[in-house]
Amino acid sequence: MLRFVLRRTAATLVLLAGVVLMTFALARLLPGDPARLIAGARADAEAVAAVRERLGLDDPVITQFTAYAGNVLQGDFGRSVVTRRPISEDILTFFPATLELVLVAGLISLLLGVILGTLAAVKSGRPADAGVRSVAVLGLSVPDFWIALVFQLIFFATLGLVPFGGRLGTGIAAPDFVTGFMTVDSLIAGRFDLFTDALHHMILPVAVLAIPSMAITIRVVRTSLLEVLSQDFIRTARSKGISPARVYFKHALGNALLPIVTIFGLNTGLLISGAVFIELIFNWPGLGRYTANAISASDYNAIMAITLVVSVAYTLINFLVDLSYSFLDPRVDLT
Amino acid sequence: MSAETSLPPSRARLSITLGRIVRPVARFAGSSGQAVLAVAIVTLVVVISLLAFGACVMDTHITALDPLKMNIRARLEPPSAEHWMGTDKIGRDMLARVVAGSWISLSVSFAVLAVAAVIGTSFGLIAGYAGGLADEILMRVTDLFLAFPALILAAAIAASFGGGMVSTTIALAAVFWPWYARLIRSRILSLKEQEFIAATRCMGASHLRLIFSDLLPMVWPLVIVQATTDVGFVILAASGLSFLGLGAQPPTPEWGAMIFDSLTHQPASWWLAVFPGGAIAFVAIGFNLLGDSLRDHLDPSLGASEAGI
């Protein structure tokens, strides 16, 4: 077990160093001269040279990289062109709103994915299976930003069931910042009206965000369950007279757990990507909308900072998933 | 006397060759309801996009087919007999734009997958065949590309290259190739151990011969199946990048860009978003179903769809 953990830790550290190197390389690929960009179009050659000197752009690439890595380790990503604030502060401000959305959507997609995937595997080849598989194909094929717009048309513009966007109704003051989760903060403040309003605003974004990862979970659960269900020990369990529910949920699902946990880790990447579109359309003040705005304003510092931070988080989540293997299945250690 | 024997030799050979291509396709298309649906959708989409490409190359100026023809007096008109999908904010016909967009989406995704498949297959072949240090290094590079959430990496790369269709192609190829590398490597690892490879090696076959005439023919069907499924995902991702302003630039009739343009006219002018998005979904569904049925057809042991849909 210890060897497995140590090996995975070393591999993850190498990967993280690679991620930093890659964002550095991408930032250097940027079109145009960064010194000219900062000095302004009308600056003379001397002013540009001064900026170049100050930023260390004339230094060898190795020196530039160590300076970059040093800044990154201290959480210094420079300033955003859009908000004119340090990017690290921006990320901390906008992150909780996205986390709230991604957490809820992630849990819902996992729950629905496991239930529907199990149903499809148990009823393999029957109409229920075909129905669930159609849902999965649709969920993977229909662009989420389009579903968001169509849901807005139906549920907001036509039926008036849900608000257009945002986290709270217009003109309603947010509760004091404690966790950054609107639902939790409103409960802490003892404002139940705010809590229901916040929930009301979450329904559509969460529903749309959950669809692609739910579709993938359905597929993985169905395929891995079908594989387990065809094995001998399942037949033995059945012939011992164990109830079907116990066979499916304890024996079968327990042995299909590794692929399900793996896909949960990979789905976080899908959810983070989805949040960029969903937050833009539902005007959700999170990291996703911040990213979309940074892209349309060509705010390269912010784009690279978010790429780095999000990818480090994603790598760490998948590292935890890897570690969980050895708890879920002791046989993993042998490899 | 049968028709084939009476043909001159060259035409007979042609008809045999054609039969080799057509017969398996026909057998596949008839294999399940899902396959029929998939082949129908994909054929329709490919034909439409070729027509759109033709109209674009021939520069026909048929008003009904011109995606760039403006008409300020007919702006933001809802769907009607004259404009089946309505018109946009400067009076361009939406049907013409959606049809023209099919060529853009399909050609971008084919370019992306060609690049991704060639790079990924080469990586996988070399890593799996050579093993040892080369394998270790190539696979760490592959892991690095998978350490980023796909769309975030694609957006960062596309932004670094300054946006546009070429940037989109590079960015998406960078996101898709690692999957091919992993797929091919794992297949090569198991193939390498088989007896026919050892036998060929004993006969004195060179590494190049082993790779190109023994291993490559065994793995390329996998690549084709994977690429077929991926067409849908690439089209989704490409339209997503355009939606964020990183892909096609105006006035190019790209589906994602069209949906982004529609945002300021929502929800009043619903047709501006509904039709381009519907087109993306339609194409993606077609290729996803095609990939799934191909997989089932070539490898029934996976047992994914005996029933079809």
Q: Is the pLDDT of residue B306 over 90?
A: no
Burial-class residue A38 by CB neighbours within 10 Å (0-12, 13-18, 19+).
Answer: middle
Phi, psi of A79, deg, nearest 5 = -105, 150
Nearest CB among A133, A137, A145 relative to B259 is that of: A145
Contacts of A156 (CB under 8 A, 6+ apart): A162, A163, A164, A204, B267
Question: What are B125-175's pLDDT values in tens digits?
Answer: 999 999 899 999 999 999 999 999 999 999 999 988 887 889 999 999 999
Check residue A201 and give its pLDDT. Answer: 93
CA distance B82 to chain A (A): 24
CB B140 within 8 A of CB B76: no
CA distance A248 to chain B (A): 19
Question: What are A134-185's pLDDT values in tens digits?
Answer: 999 999 999 999 999 999 999 998 898 888 888 888 778 888 888 888 888 8
Check residue B95 and give its pLDDT. Answer: 84
CA distance A242 to chain B (A): 26
Q: How many CB pairs under 8 A join A and B?
A: 159
CA distance A190 to chain B (A): 36
Nearest CB among A29, A150, A311 relative to B147 is that of: A311
Nearest-by-CA chain A residue for B33:
A130
CB A271 within 8 A of CB A287: no
Nearest CB among B156, B266, B306 relative to A26 is that of: B156
Calculate mean pLDDT across residues B214-243: 91
Q: What are the chain B neighbours of A29 within 8 Å (beta carbons)?
A: 160-161
Q: What are the chain A neighbours of B267 within 8 Å (beta carbons)?
A: 152-153, 156-157
Q: How confident is the model at residue B308 (pLDDT cuts 50, 70, 90)?
A: very low
Kindly report the average pLDDT of chain B as a whole number: 84
Q: What are the chain B neighbours of A15 within 8 Å (beta carbons)?
A: 140, 143-144, 147
Question: What are A252-294's pLDDT values in tens digits?
Answer: 888 888 888 888 888 999 999 999 999 999 999 999 999 999 9
A141–B232 CB contact, under 8 Å: yes
CB A274 within 8 A of CB A286: no
Check residue A255 and give its pLDDT. Answer: 82
Question: What are A86-125's pLDDT values in tens digits?
Answer: 999 999 999 999 999 999 999 999 999 999 999 999 898 8
Q: Which two tokens stand for residue A195?
A: 């809590």
Check residue A97 and give its pLDDT. Answer: 93
Q: How confident is the model at residue A56 (pLDDT cuts 50, 70, 90)?
A: confident
Check residue A329 and give its pLDDT. Answer: 76
In this structure, whether the domain defined by A94-328 belongs to CATH 1.10.3720.10 is answered with: yes
Q: What are the chain A neighbours of B266 within 8 Å (beta carbons)?
A: 149, 152-153, 157
Q: Is the pLDDT of residue B7 over 70?
A: no
A141–B292 CB contact, under 8 Å: no
Distance (Å, whole) CA B134 – CA B127: 6
Nearest-by-CA chain B residue for A222:
B304
Question: Where along chain B do its domains lie?
Answer: 90-297
Architecture of domain B90-297: Orthogonal Bundle (1.10)
B149–A270 CB contact, under 8 Å: yes
Q: For the stretch A225-256, what's the b/e string if a residue is b when 16 or more beta carbons lie within 10 angstroms of its beta carbon?
A: bbbbbeeeebeebeeeeeeeeebbeebbbebb
Q: What angle do CA A129, A205, A132 make, to 5 degrees?
A: 0
Q: How far is CA B3 from CA A38, B7, B15, B16, in A?
A: 76, 7, 11, 12
Q: Report CA B195 to chain centroid distance, whole Å.
A: 35
Q: What are the chain A neighbours of B288 within 8 Å (beta carbons)?
A: 137, 140-141
CA distance B300 to chain A (A): 13
Single-letter amino acid code for the residue at A52: R
Q: Is the pLDDT of residue A206 over 90?
A: yes
Check residue B305 and give its pLDDT. Answer: 36
Check residue A91 and give its pLDDT. Answer: 93
Predicted TM-score (pTM) of this structure: 0.87
Question: What are A179-204's pLDDT values in tens digits?
Answer: 888 888 888 888 888 888 888 999 99
Q: What are the chain A neighbours of B147 within 8 Å (beta carbons)?
A: 15, 18-19, 311, 314-315, 318
B152–A310 CB contact, under 8 Å: yes
CB B104 within 8 A of CB B248: yes
Check residue B1 and give its pLDDT. Answer: 43
Among A65-79, B12-26, B120-134, the range with the most confident prediction by mean pLDDT is B120-134
Q: Report CA A102 to chain centroid distance, whole Å.
A: 6
Question: What are B198-207's pLDDT values in tens digits?
Answer: 888 888 888 8
CA distance B208 to chain A (A): 32
Single-letter amino acid code for the residue at B92: R
Calculate mean pLDDT across residues B216-222: 88
Check residue A233 and give its pLDDT. Answer: 87
Among A126-135, B88-97, B267-276, the range with the most confident prediction by mean pLDDT is A126-135
Q: Which long-range contacts (C-beta less than 8 Å, at least 24 apart) are formed by A86-92?
A: A87/A301, A87/A302, A87/A305, A88/A305, A90/A290, A90/A302, A91/A287, A91/A290, A91/A305, A91/A306, A91/A309
Mutation test of the interface with chain A: which of B32, B142, B144, choosing the one with the most A Cβ atoms within 10 A? B144
Average the pLDDT over each of A40-44, A202-206, B46-50, B265-269 and give the range with the smallest value. Answer: A40-44
Check residue A193 and give its pLDDT. Answer: 86
SS3 label, residue A79: strand
Check residue B303 and give its pLDDT. Answer: 42
Q: What are the chain A neighbours of B148 within 8 Å (beta carbons)?
A: 19, 22, 269, 307, 310-311, 314
Question: What are A26-51's pLDDT values in tens digits?
Answer: 887 776 666 666 666 677 778 878 87
Q: How confident is the model at residue B46 (pLDDT cuts 50, 70, 90)?
A: very high
Q: What are the chain A neighbours of B239 within 8 Å (beta carbons)?
A: 143
CA distance A275 to chain B (A): 11
Check residue A39 and give its pLDDT. Answer: 67
